[in-house]
Amino acid sequence: MDYRIERDTLGEMKVPNDKYWGAQTQRSLQNFPIGNETMPKEIIEGFAILKKSAARANESLGLLEKDKADAIGHAADRVLAGELFDHFPLVVWQTGSGTQSNMNMNEVLAYVGNEWLEAQEKEVSLHPNDDVNKSQSSNDTYPTALHIAAVKKVEDHLLPALKQMKQTLKEKADAYQDVVKIGRTHLQDATPLTLGQEISGWHRMLEKTESMIDDSLKYVREIALGGTAVGTGINAHPDFAETVAQKINEETNGTFISAPNKFHALTSHDELVHTHGALKALAADVMKIANDVRWLASGPRCGIGEITIPANEPGSSIMPGKVNPTQSEAITMVAAHVMGNDAAIGFAASQGNFELNVFKPMIAYNFLQSCQLLGDSIKSFDERSLAGLEPDEEKIEKYLNDSLMLVTALNPHIGYENAAKIAKYAHENNQTLRESAVETGVLSGEEFDKLVVPKEMTKPNAK
């Protein structure tokens, strides 16, 4: 392999000729041979956005020549176009401030920008620290890249999938509003409700968690850029923080704001803990929905079997004809993983020592992974399971009529004790409630039929 010599403050490094990074990136590659988890592309894109925006801010403040700002912008645009991802090889498990990833971006943008300046026959050149990193520190750029990435990932990937699943549930709830079925609490028979009412509970879960996630993003829109090394803003223009936030919004069509306290923005990640907590709430909800679906679809002959779901693939390598609720299994595994990510993020966020939290790359990796997995699995579960969910009305009707808990409708008329007497007698003698009511002499058949109407039990009692 052909190499070139790159230099940093520690000396010379051999860098592959076909790579655009410099000495500091190469050192990181050699010093952190840990795992296979590379820096998420969303972080790389976040860095490209902030570097381009910082260059434009510095230009507008008279701190950077237009040609240099143009060159940085050109190189950043190439990153955002997806052309240069091969030049960002660093792993997550590096310095906890993300310094090497910041320098990886600085070095690549300087290299590509200088190629562009040379082609334009400009008589200036970019330095990765002095120009690309002007008015910045790794300590304020990494959390800024993370916040940009987090907001975009939630809004562009997760929320659209959530909205799609929410719409499917709304349609199912409306379609099955009159399908009366037996309710279950404690995994035991309870009073009736409609299938539409049951599904409406799932719909409300998503409606509420969507609101919680969306509301939490207002804190993530605060960015640390302008705090530089420890939050004081040393080596940055007094107007840099506000100006660069404006430039980032122009680039992203976003609503990011400069964090009002940069000391907090560098050492604390409570806003990401908060938002990921809302993601954990969503994970808990999809876990519940998916479990309900696979319980209700269990069978087909020896389970509950009140609903059917699509048969997407053979379910067993040994049992012919078996079909399993694989979409439920996939999304519940994702939910469990997201809950694990939440624990890791919470612990990592607690490790802000003095002026800096140094668990940033791990927080970034886990947060973005949770968004990716939730978005993917919700979309797949919606399209390959919920969309094909249908009631088995014959099975539903049988369970409804067999249930002893219909006796609850008698409480206001004959009292709890008499109602319990009917239910207990029916259970002990393998009778229907109607037969038991008549045989115990509590009610006539006609009185029972008038008082026990399952459809009427799905709403509050009339006055």
Q: Which residues are catalytic?
A: 186, 316
> Which CA distances in Å does 168 have to 27, 43, 183, 381?
51, 32, 22, 11
In angstroms, the CA 79 to CA 99 distance is 19
> Per the structure block, which two tokens stand in for 67?
């040609």
Point out which residues pair with 16 in neighbouring strands: 3
3-state secondary structure at position 351: coil
DSSP state of 36: S
Task: In whole angstroms, give the CA distance from residue 226 to residue 54.
Answer: 10
In whole angstroms, how far apart are CA 272 and each of 27, 220, 344, 366? 30, 7, 12, 11
**Dihedral, CA of residue 451, residue 455, residue 456 and residue 459, to nearest 10:** 150
**What separation in angstroms does the CA of 43 have from each of 32, 159, 333, 448?**
19, 19, 25, 67
Residue with tokens 């249908």: 390
Q: Taking the CB of residue 234, how many other CB atoms lie within 10 A of it?
A: 11
Going by C-alpha positions, the residue among 40, 103, 51, 101 that lies closest to residue 75 is 51
H or E segment and range at residue 170: helix 159-175
- Residue carrying structure tokens 């992974």: 369
Between CA 180 and CA 396 the distance in angstroms is 8
- 8-state DSSP, 93: S
Q: Can you read off the two tokens belonging to residue 387?
A: 């969309």
For the chain, the residue count is 463
Sign of the four-CA dihedral 31, 344, 359, 21: positive
The residues with which 308 forms a beta bridge, in sequence order, are 390
